[in-house]
């Protein structure tokens, strides 16, 4: 959880400071500011998404430091939902194939978190 939180916050900071590398990382073509069409709100959207990633990353780190298990459990279905939506966006042609990495990251994170919770839960039930 802490690793995911740190990575989410770090990528959020990258998006706030240098959005073009983050745009490229997601598989989108980076366009210079002078080439942007009137009404292109890509950078505004990326700023909002990046700030949300910073906040989310901090939440994950704080939850990890507090060992807040209910929060960990809540993340599993929502990260699977995010995985599904992002993957369907690529399959449906709404996002470039590079965006599939975001969906896979969310899906893998959900599975690892779910497995860790399951494993810890089994250990807690077994007598010493």
For 52-96, how does the pLDDT look when each residue is reduced to its tens digit (9 = 90+)?
999 999 999 999 999 999 999 999 999 999 999 999 999 999 988
Distance CA 31, CA 46 (A): 13
- For residue 104, what are the domain limits? 68-128
Do 1 and 58 sit in the same domain of this protein? yes
pLDDT at 128 over 60: no
Q: Are 52 and 12 in contact (CB under 8 A)?
A: yes
What is the reported pTM?
Answer: 0.79
Find where tokens 């740190």 sit.
6
Do 3 and 58 sit in the same domain of this protein? yes
Which pLDDT score, from 0 to 100, does residue 126 have?
A: 61
The token pair at 88 is 């369907």
Calculate ∠ Cα 75-3-5, nearest 5°: 55
The token pair at 48 is 């909002």
**Residue 39: exposure state from Cβ atoms within 10 A (0-12, 13-18, ≥19):** exposed
Which of 66, 85, 106 marks a domain boundary? 66
Which pLDDT score, from 0 to 100, does residue 79 have?
A: 95
């Amino acid at each position: 959880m802490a690793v995911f939180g740190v990575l989410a916050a770090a990528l959020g900071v990258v998006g706030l400071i240098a959005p073009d590398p983050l745009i490229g990382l997601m598989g989108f073509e980076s366009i210079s500011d002078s080439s942007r069409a009137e009404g292109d709100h890509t950078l505004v959207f990326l700023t909002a998404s990046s700030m949300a990633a910073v906040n989310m990353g901090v939440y994950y780190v704080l939850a990890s430091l507090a060992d807040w298990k209910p929060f960990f459990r809540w993340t599993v279905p929502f990260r699977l939902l995010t995985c599904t939506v992002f993957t369907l966006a690529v399959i449906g042609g709404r996002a470039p194939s590079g965006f599939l990495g975001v969906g896979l990251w969310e899906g893998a994170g959900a599975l690892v978190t779910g497995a860790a919770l399951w494993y810890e839960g089994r250990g807690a039930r077994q007598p010493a």
